[in-house]
Structure 1
Amino acid sequence: MVDDAELATLVQRTAHDARFSGVVRVDHDGRTVASMAFGLADRRYGIAVTPSTRFGVASGAKAFTALTVMSLVADELLSLDTAARSLLGADLPLIDDAVTVRHLLGHRSGIGDYLDESTDSDINDYVMAVPVHRLADVEDYLAVLDGFPQREPPGDTFRYNNSGFVVLSLLAERAAGRPFHELVHERVVRPAGMTATGFDRGDELPGDVAIGYLHDDGLRSNVLHLPVRGSGDGGIITTVDDVHRLWRALFDGLIVPPPVRDAMIEPMSEAPEQRLRYGLGFWLHPTGSAIMLEGIDPGVSFRTVHDPASVTTHTTIANTSGGAWPVTKALDAALGLA
């Protein structure tokens, strides 16, 4: 591993060259070796990003959904073999009767996707089929999930699927009889000691949340591009420090029991297009022990990598579309996690 000074120089140089706006943190063996902030959280008023600035993490929220669902499995309120249909009832009739919680968590359900990331579209395109202000609670998402035919038989194919994680949030809510956002707080955020994490509404963000910008310059934000409140597939807001608390709590057994955690990070699928593997809610290094979460939305990019073998974690969050990638990939290479 490079020394602290070399790592800081690498991050500063890469951030400068990439016009990076966001936060970077690197920990090794229980010690924070870098915590650095760049750019502006609010361009209108010239408010700088700080290490405690809160950011959206897009699909990084899928881990929170997976952990919430698996905590319900541990408490026997759900099982991996629970059929989605048993809780959906007449809703979303195009979802195959054989689709289970396990299929949804592993992106092997084969269901149609309301936000198909395999299409060659610009990340900054408007994508929601209904006005975004109508998407505040999980049940509201039925309006965008419906009408997409099954693509493959359940279990046959790994295909990254946003709809599947929204369906999981709906199943969790119905199985537990509690709103999904409350379940995430009670079963993941609070046990992990995450003090700055939650599903804030996009139209009433507090002052410590970075505005998501569509471009490297200008004031055009993502407020019209994303649901006003996220659900199972994305939209949680957090800090780089809270992300590191999440990893620590996961491996300390504070969120789900260790056997459940181990099942979640056991490779279930090869993902050759991403040159990765996938478990249940977590991306996995193609050959090594590293585990990762990542997300990209208009005005949001996020990636965090934790390697339990070397006890190394690095996290990069940006408030621009795709801005995190140059920094996080440079850290992969420097820390031997590529």
Structure 2
Amino acid sequence: MDAIPVPADFSGVVSIDRADDSAGEPSVRQAHGLANRAAGIPNRVDTRFGIASGSKGFVAVAAASLVESGELRLDTTARSVLGDDLPLIADDVTVEHLLAHRSGIGDYLAEGDDDDLTQYVMKQPVHVLDRTEAFLAELDGYPTVFAAGERFAYNNGGFVVLALILERVSGVPFHDLVHARVFAPAGMADTAYLRSDELPPNTALGYLHADGLRTNVLHLPVRGNGDGGAYSTAADLSTFWRALFAGKLVSPELVENLVRRHSDKAWLDMAYGLGFWLRPDGKVQLEGSDAGVSFRSVHDRETATTWTFMSNWTDGAWPVARQVIPVTPPQSA
């Protein structure tokens, strides 16, 4: 197919990956802009980008894997695992509530429509947030907002609580657990939770603005955790989607529960499952937005087609994603 038009200031990768090109339009993957502006290093189609909250889908699959192995249940309460930690979390909040953003717990990183993502301030210096237990001080002190199960409210802190639960019930550090349960069996060789202060070659720095040299290294935890922060490639995202729906990560029954509607009209016209956005056109979506990061990956399980938009500045991916595959397609006249 023809090249996908992008704005002049777009920096990142756009990918439309079709499993069977012979049936119609061929796949396309294209890179634009710079992975490192100061050094003049260009983005490549295989460059790794931060995907922010896009990582929540990986956490959901890791949780489902522990359910499948019998180490966890969806109705396991957070309190039964946390003990005396985070005492403001209600006793009846379960793993399923946390996965569905229906826990009602107070959020350490609440989001709103008018947030300036470059202005978030953590309680602790970001360089100490390199492991899950280090987030306890960040998560503590936020009272319950509503009763568990009452409604949907997007909650970043809830997914860090999930990471704590997964780590404690499995006895495996969170980052190692997700690698073993998701990245390795899916064949995602270029996906990992990297430290932002020691990024390897062919990894894009995240920039706060469309131009300039200011990166996000002082704005985010030095290593991502349950609520986001993995680095990945467009090819690995396609690999993840196909492995997920092929039953290579967890059973088809558990996959169906992950992508079942647990909340309608969660955001715009989208519903929400367990870790995954569910679009009105039937496709499944992962999305991430943070200082220096914008990411969306959409998968059509019927055709095994994946649309992925990765950018290494805060708002870079959205104009292209809205143009290529809008959440709600325009109505014909």
TM-score for both structures, normalised by structure 1: 0.94
Quick check: 1:324 aligned with 2:317? yes
Quick check: 1:28 aligned with 2:18? yes
What amino acid is the match of 2:48?
A: R
Please tell me whether the aligned partners of residues 289 and 309 of structure 1 are also in contact (alpha carbons under 8 angstroms): no
Please tell me whether the aligned partners of residues 158 and 271 of structure 1 are also in contact (alpha carbons under 8 angstroms): no
C-alpha spacing 1:237/1:267, structure 2 compared with 1 (3 Å): same
Q: Which one of the candidate residues 281, 302, 306 is aligned to 1:313?
A: 306
| Separation in 2, partners of 1:107, 1:333 | 23
| Separation in 2, partners of 1:48, 1:334 | 30
Mapping of 1:132-147 within 5 angstroms?
132-147=126-141
C-alpha spacing 1:127/1:245, structure 2 compared with 1 (3 Å): same
Q: Which one of the candidate residues 158, 170, 187 is aligned to 1:176?
A: 170
What amino acid is the match of 2:295?
A: F
Mapping of 1:240-319 within 5 angstroms?
240-286=234-280, 288-319=281-312
Quick check: 1:165 aligned with 2:159? yes
The residue aligned with 2:124 is 130
| Separation in 1, partners of 2:121, 2:234 | 27
SS of equivalent to 2:288: strand
What amino acid is the match of 1:99?
A: V
Mapping of 1:193-212 within 5 angstroms?
193-212=187-206
SS of equivalent to 1:124: helix
The residue aligned with 2:210 is 216
* Backbone CA RMSD of aligned residues: 1.7
C-alpha spacing 1:333/1:310, structure 2 compared with 1 (3 Å): farther
Q: CA deviation at 1:119?
A: 6.4
| Separation in 1, partners of 2:38, 2:292 | 15
Structure 1 moving runs of 4+ over 3 Å: 29-32, 333-338
Q: Which one of the candidate residues 41, 55, 59 is aligned to 1:65?
A: 59
The residue aligned with 2:7 is 15
C-alpha spacing 1:162/1:333, structure 2 compared with 1 (3 Å): closer
C-alpha spacing 1:333/1:116, structure 2 compared with 1 (3 Å): closer
The residue aligned with 1:46 is 40
The residue aligned with 1:79 is 73
Mapping of 1:111-130 within 5 angstroms?
111-118=105-112, 120-130=114-124
Q: CA deviation at 1:203?
A: 0.9
| Separation in 2, partners of 1:280, 1:272 | 12
Cα deviation 1:222-275 (Å, max 9, x = unaligned): 000000111100110111110110001001111111110011001110135432
More deviation, 69-78/23-32: 23-32
- Identity over aligned pairs, percent: 51
| Separation in 2, partners of 1:169, 1:38 | 34
Please tell me whether the aligned partners of residues 94 and 150 of structure 1 are also in contact (alpha carbons under 8 angstroms): yes
What amino acid is the match of 1:144?
A: E
Q: CA deviation at 1:334?
A: 11
The residue aligned with 1:55 is 49
What amino acid is the match of 1:80?
A: L
SS of equivalent to 2:195: coil
What amino acid is the match of 1:198?
A: A
What amino acid is the match of 2:263?
A: S
The residue aligned with 1:37 is 31
What amino acid is the match of 1:61?
A: S
Please tell me whether the aligned partners of residues 306 and 313 of structure 1 are also in contact (alpha carbons under 8 angstroms): yes
TM-score for both structures, normalised by structure 2: 0.95
Cα deviation 1:199-218 (Å, max 9, x = unaligned): 11111111211010001111
Question: Gapped runs of 5+ residues in structure 2?
Answer: none
What amino acid is the match of 2:111?
A: E
What amino acid is the match of 2:279?
A: H
